[in-house]
Each structure stands twice: as C-alpha cells, then as structure tokens.
Structure 1
C-alpha cells in the first residue's frame, strides 16, 4: 500500500473514486449491460479518446470498482465488469440518473438516453 491520500471529508473519497469524465458512464454501462470488452466501452462512450479511457479503466480497477479479465487468446482479449464493491455504487448512479432526468431543462439535449425514466 502506498502513501495515503488526504481527503477533507467522506464525500471527497467518493469523488476521487468515481470522479472523472467517463468513470460514472463506464460504471453505469457495466452495471446495466454486464461484462464488456474495451472496444465495446469505447464505442459506447463515442467521444472518449483511447488514452483517457485506458487511464480511467485502470483507476477504476485500482480502486476495486471494476475487474479486468484477460483471456489468453491470440490476440489477447480483455473484458471489464463491475466488482461487488462497484455494485455498491448502484444507488448513487441511480440517484444521479434520476436527478439528471428531472433537471435536464432547456440547456441540454439528450442524444443517448441511458437511465430509466428518461423522457
């Protein structure tokens, strides 16, 4: 275990783990759709670049939120899925979906609805 990261409050722990441009969307996708390969996640995110996606997948794996399974094939295949720890974030993800649905307003245009209850 490396040096501990100092946080000012408990909410900051959550933000450090799931904060990031694509992390919540990755987690939501894996929770809803089950295990996915890297390219499936990349296609789902549409606008993510490969470097950022790779970094965020590694961070989620290091934090125990997702697991990376490597299949010994040629070429090697990698699959990502949510861990039991990752599944404990379901209520937070659902609340964020609900909040977004209720507060989308006129400022945003929904192009790829992911949450249940979307208009």
Structure 2
C-alpha cells in the first residue's frame, strides 16, 4: 500500500493541483506544439480562455519553472513564452495522457450518457 504525505508535504498533490486545473495542460500542449509563442497567439490557440485566466495560468507555469517569459523592450511591448527544459521533460508524459484521452474519449462519453439516464 502506498502512503501519502499530508497535504502540505505531498509532492504528488502539489504538482497535480498545479497541473490539474482547467487550463495548464492546454497551455503546455499548445506551447509544445507551436514552440515560442506570443501571448495573443496562445490566446487564439485556446479560444475559450479569458485573457485574465491565461495571464494567471502563464504566471503559475512560469513560477513552477515549466515555461519562460521573455519581454522585448519595444513599443508596444512584445512578450514571448516557451517551454523550459523542465517543461519539455514533462511533455512526453503529458502527451501520453493526451493520446489516451483521444483514444478513449468516445468510450468515456458513452459511459457518461449511460450514467446520465
């Protein structure tokens, strides 16, 4: 049996709570697929995320060292985001989850329909 640390000391809970929100994985997958991107391009790629939520998500991923942010001293300012080496090391695992979701989504939807009846 696996024992888990308390909430404050559990690395599994900590990492999953940061990555398991609604938007973090989508941002990571988008940056992985497209490379370096400007804020507006990330926003266009994930059409249903608000600017505020994208800003919060990018800041969180940057604080965790998964993405980097580069600001260019231009008018208007240009900001670009990309995966860091740490972020890139996460992507094969994320891609496995994405592949699994794509493979099994129709089956999951069928089960949801059954449960909703």
RMSD: 1.7
Contact in 2 for aligned 1:20/1:56 (Cα 8 Å): no
Match in the other structure for 1:45 = 46
The answer to whether 1:83 aligns with 2:84 is yes
Runs of 4+ aligned structure 1 residues displaced above 6 Å come to: none
Larger radius of gyration: 2
User: 2:89 & 2:8 partners in 1: Cα distance?
Assistant: 23
Match in the other structure for 2:32 = 31
Deviation at 1:60, TM superposition (A): 0.3
Deviation at 1:22, TM superposition (A): 1.0
The answer to whether 1:11 aligns with 2:37 is no
Match in the other structure for 1:111 = none
User: 2:95 & 2:58 partners in 1: Cα distance?
Assistant: 20
Deviation at 1:13, TM superposition (A): 2.9
Match in the other structure for 2:65 = 64
In structure 2, stretches of 5+ residues that fail to align are 1-6, 111-117
User: 1:49 & 1:23 partners in 2: Cα distance?
Assistant: 13
Q: TM-score, with normalisation over the residues of structure 1? A: 0.79
In structure 1, stretches of 5+ residues that fail to align are 109-119
User: 2:84 & 2:56 partners in 1: Cα distance?
Assistant: 18
For residues 15-69 of structure 1, give each alpha carbon's deviation from its aligned partner in whole angstroms, at most 9, with x where no partner exists. 1331221111111111111000000001111100111110010000000000000
For residues 59-84 of structure 1, give each alpha carbon's deviation from its aligned partner in whole angstroms, at most 9, with x where no partner exists. 00000000000011101100000000
Q: SS state of the match for residue 89, structure 1? A: helix
